[in-house]
Structure 1
Amino acid sequence: MTSSRLTLADDARAVILSHAREGAARDPPAEVCGVLAGDSDARAVTVAHPVSNVADEPRVAYELDPEETVSILETVESAGDDAVGFYHSHPESDPVPSATDREQASWPGYVYLICSPDGRLTAHEWTGDEFRELDVTVE
């Protein structure tokens, strides 16, 4: 049985929030995104890797740059870590899965972390049908 908890290293949280604040400061504000790395079995994120958002409408959607994502996944694997999931921000709305997030989710079993520039964040596992919220512990 998979854990219903995500452990997030404080350093990874700081990277995610800094990235989210950068996106919120743009004119217009834009969602930011990245890869979460660590131990997928323990659902522990030790590193957050920012990735460029190449979505057509970055104010309300995200799409990880494919080339950057592949490169980061290779780096993560080379370091002996796992891809635990992905993060993105909601610069102008609550950090909960949107209808767009549900439509575009495509990695069952992976964590989708959503943050707002004010520091609030939520984490969810995509089951293939729905998002299941996870408790987040920052260490």
Structure 2
Amino acid sequence: MIVLPTAVREAILERAREGRPEEICGILGGEYRPDGRSRVQGQYPAENVAETPRMRYEIDPEKQLAVFKRLEDRGEEIVGFYHSHPRGPARPSETDVAAATWPDRSYLIVSLDPLEIGSWRWRTDGEDDAGGDGVDERFERERIIAD
């Protein structure tokens, strides 16, 4: 589960509304727990640099590293990431599944139509072998606790 303060939730929703029709994105900082209850303390907006920002999101790697450094300086950990689906559901798309790379981190997704927030943890299990079929990768829905 993920604990999401109301102020952070509202800030993300406002960014998603303002960013429409493009997807917005950012990083969630706070207290990270891989198998338990992560707690968000702040959201760190990022520019969506994807070639097709209406259909996907991408954070510039250099800017992402700068945010990671800022989190570290503030004593926060990477809890996960967030982005919006202006015209889609609050669940991972095939593009989101293909792009997920942070095991056990939360991926918060905002749908604007209908207005909904969902959170998912990226899970990887097993050992990769030469054929690449030994690893089970998937999103698992997680409960959002308002704080």
Whether TM exceeds 0.5 here: the answer is yes
Q: Identify the residue that residue 133 of structure 2 maps to in structure 1.
A: none
Q: Identify the residue that residue 57 of structure 1 maps to in structure 2.
A: 52
Q: Identify the residue that residue 89 of structure 1 maps to in structure 2.
A: 84
Structure 2 CA distance, aligned partners of 1:78 and 1:46? 14
Q: Identify the residue that residue 76 of structure 1 maps to in structure 2.
A: 71
More strand by share: 2
Matched, 1:134 2:142: yes
Alignment of 1:118-129 (within 5 A): 119-128=115-124, 129=137
Tell me by how many angstroms 1:10 deviates. 1.1
Matched, 1:37 2:33: no
Task: Read off the aligned partner of 1:13 and give its amino acid letter.
Answer: R
Larger radius of gyration: 2
Secondary structure of the residue that 2:82 maps to in structure 1?
strand
Task: Read off the aligned partner of 1:35 and give its amino acid letter.
Answer: I
Q: Identify the residue that residue 61 of structure 2 maps to in structure 1.
A: 66
Q: So what's the TM-score if we normalise by structure 2?
A: 0.85
Structure 2 CA distance, aligned partners of 1:110 and 1:92? 24
2:2 to 6, 12, 29: 6
Tell me by how many angstroms 1:116 deviates. 1.9
Quote the RMSD (CA, aligned, Å): 1.1
CA offsets per residue over residues 102-124 of structure 1, 9 Å max, x none? Answer: 11111111110001236410000
Structure 1 CA distance, aligned partners of 2:66 and 2:18? 22
What percentage of aligned pairs have identical amino acids?
A: 37
CA contact (8 A) 1:94 1:116 kept: yes
Structure 2: gaps of 5 or more residues: 125-136
Q: So what's the TM-score if we normalise by structure 1?
A: 0.90
Tell me by how many angstroms 1:68 deviates. 1.7
Structure 1 window deviating more from structure 2 (85-94 vs 114-123): it is 114-123
Structure 2 CA distance, aligned partners of 1:16 and 1:121? 10
Tell me by how many angstroms 1:22 deviates. 1.2
Aligned length: 131
CA offsets per residue over residues 63-114 of structure 1, 9 Å max, x none? Answer: 0122221111111110001010000000011111001001111111111000
Q: Identify the residue that residue 42 of structure 2 maps to in structure 1.
A: 47
Structure number with greater CO (CA < 8 Å, separation at least 6) is 1
Task: Read off the aligned partner of 1:18 and give its amino acid letter.
Answer: E
